[in-house]
Amino acid sequence: MDIKIPTQIYSEIGDLEGVIIHSPGKEVENMTPDNAERALYSDILNLCVARAEYNQFKGVLEKVSKTFEIKDLLTQILKNEKVKQGLVEKVCRYEGAGSICEHLFSLDGQELADALIQGIPIQKNTLSNFLNKERFALKPLHNFFFTRDAAISVYDNIFVGAMASPVRLRESLIMESIFDFHPSFSTKTINAMTGHEPDPAIAIEGGDVLVARDDILLCGIGSRTTPQGIDFLLHYLKKKNQKQHILVQELPMTPESFIHLDMVFTLLDRDLCMIYEPIIMKMNKYQTIHIYAEGGKVQFVREVKNLPEGLRNLGMDLKPVLCGGDDDQWLQEREQWHSGANFFALGPGKIIGYARNVHTIKALEKNGFEVIRAKDVLKDRVDLADYNRYVVTIEGSELPRGGGGARCMTMPVRRRSI
């Protein structure tokens, strides 16, 4: 009998014990320059190179934690006919794909998992289909290797992502089914899009939700997460009648490098955070707001100067490390564009990110991080257990072109308490 893993995410930096990932596959290649923007990309990727880079990333995660591949989890739950029927019916209903429902039902678990992720080409067997300029009857999930967004671990629950773009809706349906039905997980899913009258204004994605402490969340609002999405999160958290702080950071709507909070702010250690200084620290029009709930009620909503000050007021005094270094805003802009602020913690002071952001890596080195190449970890030239504070650098020429970094590509389900 499988041992169930209870969801436990009470910080961003506790030692990683379980994480869900998705190795990029054919779905990444199933786009053209003409439809890349609709797929939420600013460029198209070379799968061969992206996969090699991702394998470095995955290999390091496997050295320190139990890892789960989405396709494996999905294949396993689809062996259950009731789960299969329920998921297929939801996909067909939400995506207007009734014409291929019968075909989807006919597929076995592995085939269906492939189809749900990689898409299904249109069969040119009718005049309508022949004249249809679309390539796919069921569109590929181009963004699924950014597993962070479609399911959000908050304390002991999973909030199902209410995705801002319909292109990503199926990701949420799949993740909800995995957490509801896979025998490896023990958790409760909370979905804003189900219920009597779901609010279409609600959007919330995992890149905009960071767990700073067992009573502090950091949330971004912008192009992917709405204020209504944060209100939905608050609605459930205040029911616990415990003290709950939410620090909300407004983000620019453009360019796309600012899509989530974790593109401008991530936690690195007990006393360090990574920031993109122009948004987080400098004078601008983007507000930082502190919400406090206790006893089941919101006690106040008020503005604070910035995220580091808001955290300092709550007893978390974090020194900011600057994405791109502290010498040149030009360099900061360049490295933020390629996810230079988007680090993922394997443990306190143990992080992973892209090697290409050299000025950011130098800033980390100045703050006591040993710089370790992923390839040296994978070839056992380096034992991570020998270091108290380090940054593992992965090669990144293709992966960053998808618009995300190490935190974007991980969906942690369990961390050790700090």
Q: Give tens-digit pLDDT for 371-407.
A: 999 999 999 999 999 999 999 999 998 898 888 999 9
- pLDDT per residue as tens digits for the range 286-310: 999 999 999 999 999 999 999 999 9
Residue 367 buriedness (CB in 10 A; 0-12 / 13-18 / 19+): middle
Cα separation, 354 vs 360, whole angstroms: 10
- CA angle (286 as vertex; 262, 234 as ends), nearest 5: 60
- What pLDDT shows up at residue 44? 73
Backbone angles phi, psi at 12, to 5 degrees: -90, -10
- What pLDDT shows up at residue 195? 66
Cα separation, 108 vs 188, whole angstroms: 28
Helical axes 70-77 vs 109-118, angle rounded to 10°: 130
Instruction: Tell me which residue has tokens 């609600």.
Output: 202
**Domain 5-415 falls in which CATH fold?**
L-arginine/glycine Amidinotransferase; Chain A (3.75.10)
DSSP 208: G
Q: Which of 92-106, 218-232, 346-360 has the lowest mean pLDDT?
A: 92-106
Q: Which of 82-91, 173-182, 192-201 has the lowest mean pLDDT?
A: 192-201
Q: What percent of the chain has pLDDT over 90?
A: 80
Structure tokens at 134: 């679309």
Sheet strands (E) in 33-134? 66-69, 120-121
- pLDDT per residue as tens digits for the range 141-184: 999 999 999 999 999 999 999 999 999 999 999 999 999 999 99
Angular region, 315: left φ>0, alpha ψ -120 to 50, beta rest: left
- What pLDDT shows up at residue 196? 59
Please choose, from the candidates 242, 107, 119, the residue with its C-alpha nearest in 3D space to the C-alpha of residue 170: 119
- Whether residue 39 is predicted with pLDDT greater than 60 in this model: the reply is no
Mean pLDDT of the chain: 93
Q: What is the mean pLDDT of residues 320-325?
A: 98
DSSP 15: P
Model confidence at 40, pLDDT cuts 50, 70, 90, reads low
Model confidence at 33, pLDDT cuts 50, 70, 90, reads low
Cα separation, 34 vs 251, whole angstroms: 28
- Whether residue 32 is predicted with pLDDT greater than 90 in this model: the reply is no
- What pLDDT shows up at residue 312? 98
pTM: 0.94
Structure tokens at 323: 């994405």
Model confidence at 117, pLDDT cuts 50, 70, 90, reads very high
- What pLDDT shows up at residue 38? 58
Helix (H) or strand (E) holding 129: helix 127-131
Terminal CA-CA length for the chain = 30
Task: Give the DSSP letter string of 135-193.
Answer: SEEE---TTTT-TTTTEEEEBTEEEEPB-SSGGGHHHHHHHHHHHHH-TTEE-EEEETT
DSSP 14: S
- What pLDDT shows up at residue 1? 42
Within 217-357, residue ranges assigned H as helices are 227-237, 277-280, 307-313, 329-337
- What pLDDT shows up at residue 383? 96
- Whether residue 337 is predicted with pLDDT greater than 90 in this model: the reply is yes
Q: What percent of the chain has pLDDT over 70?
A: 96
- Whether residue 12 is predicted with pLDDT greater than 90 in this model: the reply is yes
Query: Is residue 183 reached through a cis peptide bond, with omega within 30 degrees of 0 on the bond before it?
Result: no
Model confidence at 101, pLDDT cuts 50, 70, 90, reads very high
Please choose, from the candidates 257, 282, 413, 255, the residue with its C-alpha nearest in 3D space to the C-alpha of residue 341: 257
Please choose, from the candidates 164, 207, 160, 142, the residue with its C-alpha nearest in 3D space to the C-alpha of residue 407: 207
- CA angle (388 as vertex; 323, 61 as ends), nearest 5: 70
- What pLDDT shows up at residue 402? 85
Instruction: Tell me which residue has tokens 């039902």.
Output: 105
Number of alpha carbons in the 13 Å side-chain half-sphere of residue 316? 23
- Whether residue 74 is predicted with pLDDT greater than 70 in this model: the reply is yes
